[in-house]
């Protein structure tokens, strides 16, 4: 073979390899990135949902923990080049994300379980969907209350008791439970989302007992370490702590508990959009809904999910959802920035 024919042969081989693509030992699995709740929620997802999905899709899942507002802030910062595929966020904050164009519409051809979702969890134009029911109310340490002769709290104003001075952890307004406290206080004072002044007046009285203002939405450690004995919190969070043997109970306040629908969303222009749509559908399967109820006390949003009676009594069931107070998220989100500024000046600095 002459040098010229050898060169021609090598060139032809190189062109063939380029067209076919360089050989690789094996393709790396796709990695779905989920941003969602921390604490007990993160634990439950990693134990009861993610392993099964990784197995079924032959993929890997990375979970980034944070509050709903933290997650939406990340989505805004990455809007030009998203790095997150799926966002788990509270319904009110989800409404803000929709308005900002951060979320994509669900594909009914992939999310085939959508028709089985109850009305309260179906979202406008199917941009996201509710995957669990919860409620915002009052949590308290039953042992501390009994030992100190305190009656079980029945309403938000009961947290103003002087015996709770320095023993109350107050959620910040930057996360859903703090906003819930403000809205509950507004109703007690004769106000509403449209007339919030009574809310600030009521929260200020309760906040006088606060040892801190939590921004994480998971105050378990404050209870476990004895720094706090009461707070405004979510039912599923309380039940998770009670499951570990801690003396804590959840109270649906007399003025009405607030609904909290946790939503799952595909991020607009997600790197792995198809995989994200499949994950949403997975969360809506009866088996996954039951697993989440069993692992972290999420009330199912899919019809026909049967739970053990003892478990059913601890979650926010679909029958109770009708009794929860409806919120006007359009009004809330329009004013939330101003309310946050006012909260920082009047509540956390007072």
Domain spanning 31-133+260-321, CATH class: alpha beta
Q: Residue length, the chain?
A: 350
In this prediction, what percent of the chain has a pLDDT beyond 90? 78
Q: Which residues pair with 89 in a beta bridge?
A: 263
Condensed to tens digits (0 to 9), the pLDDT of residues 101-140 reads 999 999 999 999 999 999 889 999 999 999 999 999 999 9
Residue 14's pLDDT is what? 40
Q: How sure is the predictor about 350, in pLDDT bands with cuts at 50, 70 and 90?
A: low
Residue 4's pLDDT is what? 43
Residue 175's pLDDT is what? 87
Q: Tell which CATH architecture fits domain 135-258+327-346.
A: 3-Layer(aba) Sandwich (3.40)
Question: 31-133+260-321 with 135-258+327-346: one CATH topology?
Answer: yes
Backbone dihedral angles phi then psi of residue 89, each to the nearest 5 degrees: -145, 155
Condensed to tens digits (0 to 9), the pLDDT of residues 328-337 reads 888 999 999 9
Q: Where are the domains of the chain?
A: 31-133+260-321, 135-258+327-346
Condensed to tens digits (0 to 9), the pLDDT of residues 138-170 reads 999 999 999 999 999 999 999 999 999 999 999
- The answer, as to whether pTM is greater than 0.95, is no
Nearest to 85 by CA among 31, 132, 28: 31
Cα separation, 332 vs 95, in Å, equals: 10
Burial class (CB in 10 A: 0-12, 13-18, 19+), 116: middle
């Amino acid at each position: 073979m002459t040098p010229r024919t050898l060169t021609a042969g090598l060139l032809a081989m190189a062109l063939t390899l380029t067209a076919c693509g360089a050989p690789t030992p094996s393709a790396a699995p796709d990695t779905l990135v989920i941003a969602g709740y921390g604490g007990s929620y993160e634990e439950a997802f990693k134990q009861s949902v993610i392993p099964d999905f990784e197995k079924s899709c032959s993929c890997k899942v990375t979970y980034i923990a944070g509050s709903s507002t933290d997650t939406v802030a990340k989505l805004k910062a990455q809007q030009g080049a998203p790095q997150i595929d799926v966002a788990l966020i509270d319904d009110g904050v989800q409404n803000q994300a929709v308005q900002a164009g951060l979320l994509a519409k669900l594909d009914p051809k992939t999310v085939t379980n959508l028709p089985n979702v109850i009305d309260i969890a179906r979202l406008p134009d199917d941009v996201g969907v509710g995957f669990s029911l919860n409620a915002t109310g009052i949590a308290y340490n039953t042992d501390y209350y009994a030992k100190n002769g305190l009656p079980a709290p029945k309403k938000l104003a009961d947290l103003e008791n002087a015996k709770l001075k320095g023993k109350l952890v107050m959620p910040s307004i930057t996360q859903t439970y703090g906003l819930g406290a403000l809205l509950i206080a507004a109703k007690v004072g004769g106000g509403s989302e449209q007339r919030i002044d009574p809310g600030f007046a009521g929260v200020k009285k309760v906040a006088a007992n606060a040892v801190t203002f939590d921004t994480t939405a998971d105050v378990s450690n404050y209870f476990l370490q004895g720094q706090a004995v009461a707070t405004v919190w979510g039912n599923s969070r309380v039940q998770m702590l009670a499951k570990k043997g801690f003396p804590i109970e959840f109270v649906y306040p007399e003025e009405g508990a607030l609904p909290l629908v946790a939503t799952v969303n595909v991020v607009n222009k997600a790197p792995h959009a198809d995989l994200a749509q499949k994950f949403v559908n997975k969360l809506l399967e009866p088996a996954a809904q039951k697993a989440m109820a069993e692992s972290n006390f999420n009330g199912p949003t899919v019809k026909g999910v049967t739970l053990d009676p003892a478990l059913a009594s601890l979650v926010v069931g679909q029958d109770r959802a009708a009794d929860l107070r409806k919120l006007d998220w359009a009004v809330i989100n329009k004013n939330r920035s101003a309310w946050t500024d006012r909260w920082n000046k009047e509540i956390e600095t007072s």
